[in-house]
Structure 1
Amino acid sequence: MTRGRQRRPRRRVPRGESRVGQRFEALVGPVAHGGHCIVRLPEPESRVVFTRHAVPGERVVLEITEGTDGDRFWRGDAVEVLEASPDRVDAPCPVAGPGLCGGCDFQHVAVPAQRSLKAAVVREQLVRLAHLDPDHPLVADLVVEQVPGDVDGLRWRTRTRFVRTPDGRQGLRKHRSHDVVPVEDCLITLRHRSSDDVPVPATRTVVAAGTSHDFGIADDGFWQVHPGAPTALVETVLELLDPQPGESVLDLYAGVGLFARFLGDRVGEDARIVAVEGDREATRHARLNLAGFGRARAQAGSVDQVLETSFDEPFDLVVLDPPREGARAGVVAQVVDRAPRAVAYVACDPAALARDVASFAGHGYRLEALRAFDLFPMTHHVECVALFTRTGPDLR
């Protein structure tokens, strides 16, 4: 369950006269991956503008926030709404909006509509990058499911890293900027604390599939920030994989062993369980969390490098929970080389998932099931769980 840090935008070299600050009246097009909508400006500009704070179908005045005459596309904010969508609401947070805090993408959208937008993004990525049929039920009927643990999309984030303004106040950064906006109370944070970081407890208890387990984690270690996420993800992985007694399990990007521990309950103490994790401290906790399973092993190391040199025997079941960039073709090839009967893939980025769907298809593994969860309300992020099998239907 390792997750990479979000990369800061690269400094761009100007390509002609800047258009920053210019305003245009425009019709808002479909939602796009990344928390914005597509606006196509007519001639003479003839540019696509990735526009935040808008809703598909609205007529808005947008202001360019990034872009020059030589750029293929521009970025902008909807600063005035001329014709509002019925899905538009007043943002509950006073610092959510153009030029303000960049932590949330969709506070101006009703929560059910946020989930519809996220489902549309997942579908678009699967069709465009994985070349799946848009009319197949797994694509066309996809919904983003609500997860217990938030209140109308608020008060769910168990860990929030704040920064400081030049005068010492608590704040968060603007979108694609180092500038800091003072934030007295982040409304998506579970409990407000006046500190730079809301700490993660050293032990987390997860109840899933009628079983409870405690997991030790490092103070600064990764853990799903939505309180309902571990249960939802574990139960979905168990349901899709349908593990049987005695089956062997390979848990990749295993974190502290969340999936491996619950899978161990199903396959039994004598079954072969291997958890691979790049973070050594998380691996140390995984070893403790998997104690009691005689054939369980937690291995520290980069997943691609470990698979190239170790554990090359067949495995019945594989769990993949990669960072935002996905597993990528090399790891997918190593996974299918173990000939698992089923692979559960937990994805935090729909574009990376779609690319890996295509990679699995190239090795004869088809997408057989797909579910999506709203683990990050008010933001554009969405978590998916996919099932791949060697006998699933060909969606292409």
Structure 2
Amino acid sequence: MSGALELRLGPIAHGGHTVARHEGRVIFVRHGIPGELVRARLTESEEGKRFWRADVVEVLEPSPARRPHFWGPADAPAAYAAGTLPVGGAEFGHIELAEQRRLKGAVVREQLSRLAHLELEVDVEAVPVGGPGTEGADDDGLHWRTRCSFAVDASGHLAMHAHRSEATVPVSDMPLAVPPIGQLGLWDADLTGVARVEVAAPAAGTAPLVVLTLSEDVPSARLRELLDAIDGEASVSVVDPTGGAPLTLRGRGSVAEEAGGFHYTVTGEGFWQIHRRAPETLMGAVLDAVRPVLGDGGSAADLYAGAGLFTAPLASIVGDSGSVLSVEGSPGTSRDARRTFKRQRQVDVVQGRVERVLRQRAGEQFDAVVLDPPRAGAGREAVRQLVAAAPRGLAYVACDPASFARDLGWFREAGWTLEWLRAFDLYPHTHHVETVGLLRPGR
């Protein structure tokens, strides 16, 4: 890491950066706000690259939207002044929440314009952590994460990685996490022999799950010490250094989740939305999209279904005489869904790549489709197959505005329309934003 430049920061860009220019070269700068004058340290500056990357190390002219960062390890200027690197998360923690949402809306709008050739105003909706009835209440954007992942440093203590780096930064708290995660006793534990720690603390208040990925073969006496260091109410599993399925040492190897009155089982390998109110928020938006085209006896597909968050309400709508195809690529997460829906004969849980499953079932008709792909998006082949299937309505749930806009562009080329789009701030103090859109095929 070398070089420090004085830069005037330009517009926000996808990925949490602002765009600056220096002697004709584009530099993507983290930890700044558009319009600020800063001193930035280059983190990637290879001569052959089309653009460079940098971190703000000093703010010379702050934006009116700048605020003190709520978390020391993620405060870039403070970290560099102390001779360390900032952690990779909470990269918007120095920006007022209202401005964070305005910037996220600008990113979604720019991606839709550039990749889908669609001009659309986007307002990012706040999602209060406190639950229904707290709308309008003060919200600091903290204590929403029900899932956290940590590295373990050479001293055996919790750490997190710096952005795009193998370097780790020790952490002694995590203000974005729900309180039960902070109460597990992990901050002070000696985790020698552990490479990674994953924690899930369900929003419903059921027992948390801690999954320890070991860095070496650990004798049974050491495993007992690790168990003793973690709050006794928590379930604990370990993953062998060579990989494989987690081995449950205490409690259960899964957590119980609830959303919209539906109940789910999610193992340590399984996927679940990390904001405590994300499941119900996204479920509500998805049902607003598909209910008009789906009723008792109808057919639906839940693609990239995870543990079945949307499969459950879809199955409730179509009833015993309808059908729901639930497709998930991850074997562990698909097993979670299979356990959840084993008594619902109208639900067909299939593990495999969405493109392959759609190819095998070409010609099958769906009234409604829910599409919730990973960050890379659905891709051209899946879009092509969905265009051919021509459901009456498709709810697209997206965690990445660029891949969503790209896929939307392909749907629009095929004559589809975007009826409406909602954006939710489910990841406060980060650059991430979640969107739900209703797409309909052309006539």
TM-score by length of 2: 0.78
Cα drift, residue 251 of structure 1: 0.8
Q: Distance in 2 between matches of 1:204 and 1:40?
A: 49
Gaps of 5+ in 1: 1-19
C-alpha displacement at 1:46, in angstroms?
1.7
Local SS of the residue matching 1:160:
strand
C-alpha deviation, 1:169, in angstroms: 2.0
Aligned equivalents of 2:430, 2:110: Cα separation in 1 = 18
Give, in angstroms, the shift of residue 291 of structure 1.
4.0
Offset at residue 203 of structure 1 (A): 3.9
Distance 1:272 1:372 in 2: 29
Shift of 1:390: 2.0
Higher relative CO (CA 8 A, sep ≥ 6), structure 1 or 2? Answer: 1
What is residue 148 of structure 1 aligned with on the other side? 128
Per the TM alignment, residue 314 of structure 1 is displaced from its structure 2 partner at its CA by: 1.1
The farther-off stretch of 333-342 and 196-205 is: 196-205
The equivalent of 2:109 in structure 1 is 123
Deviation at 1:219, TM superposition (A): 2.3
* 1:269 aligns to 2:269 (yes or no): no
Within 5 A, what are the aligned runs for 1:316-331? 316-331=367-382
User: What is the CA distance between 1:353 and its match in structure 2?
Assistant: 0.1
Aligned to 1:197: 198
Post-superposition offset of 1:170: 1.2
Matched, 1:181 2:230: no
- Map of 2:258 onto structure 1: 206
| CA apart distance, 1:350 | 0.5
Q: Which residue of 2 aligns with 1:233?
A: 282
**2:269 and 2:333 in contact (8 A); partners too:** no
Deviation at 1:288, TM superposition (A): 3.1
- C-alpha displacement of 1:311: 5.5
More strand as a share of residues: 2
1:270-349 alignment to 2 at 5 Å?
270-310=321-361, 312-349=363-400
Cα deviation 1:55-87 (Å, max 9, x = unaligned): 011111122111033322111112111111111
Q: Which residue of 2 aligns with 1:110?
A: 96
Corresponding letter in the other structure for 2:198: D
- Whether the 8 Å contact between 2:302 and 2:325 is mirrored in structure 1 is yes
Deviations 1:316-339 (A, max 9, x none): 100101111000110011112222
Structure 1 equivalent of residue 157 of structure 2? 169
Shift of the 285–197 alpha-carbon distance from structure 1 to 2, 3 Å rule, reads closer
The amino acid that maps onto 1:222 is F
2:86 alignment partner AA: L
CA contact (8 A) 1:36 1:51 kept: yes
Give 1:364 shift: 1.8
Mapped to 1, the partners of 2:315 and 2:364 lie a distance apart of: 19
Among all aligned residue pairs of Structure 1 and Structure 2, give the percentage whose two residues are the same amino acid: 44
Q: Deviations over 1:78-137 (max 9, x none)?
A: 2111111111000010111222111121011011111111111111111111111x3xxx
Partner Cα separation in structure 1 for residue 127 and residue 258 of structure 2? 15
Contact 2:5 2:39 in 1 (8 A): yes
Whole-angstrom distance in 1 between the partners of 2:74 and 2:90:
7
For the residue of structure 1 that corresponds to 2:426, the secondary structure is: coil
- Secondary structure of the 1:161 match is strand
1:202-249: per-residue Cα shift (whole Å, max 9, x none)? Answer: 3434343xxx11101112311101010000000000011223222210
CA distance in structure 2 between the aligned counterparts of 1:100 and 1:70, rounded to whole angstroms:
26
SS in 2 for 1:176: coil
Q: Which amino acid aligns with 2:16?
A: G
Match of 1:55 in 2: 33
- Of 324-333 and 265-274, the range deviating more from structure 2: 265-274
Residues 28, 55 of structure 1: 8 Å contact kept = yes
Structure 1 residue 289: Cα displacement: 2.2
The aligned residue for residue 28 of structure 1 is 9
Q: CA RMSD in A?
A: 1.7
Distance between the aligned counterparts of 1:165 and 1:146, measured in 2?
A: 35
Distance between the aligned counterparts of 1:258 and 1:169, measured in 2?
Answer: 34
Contact 2:304-2:373 at 8 Å conserved across structures = yes
How many residue pairs get aligned? The number is 361
The CA deviation at 1:281 is 2.7
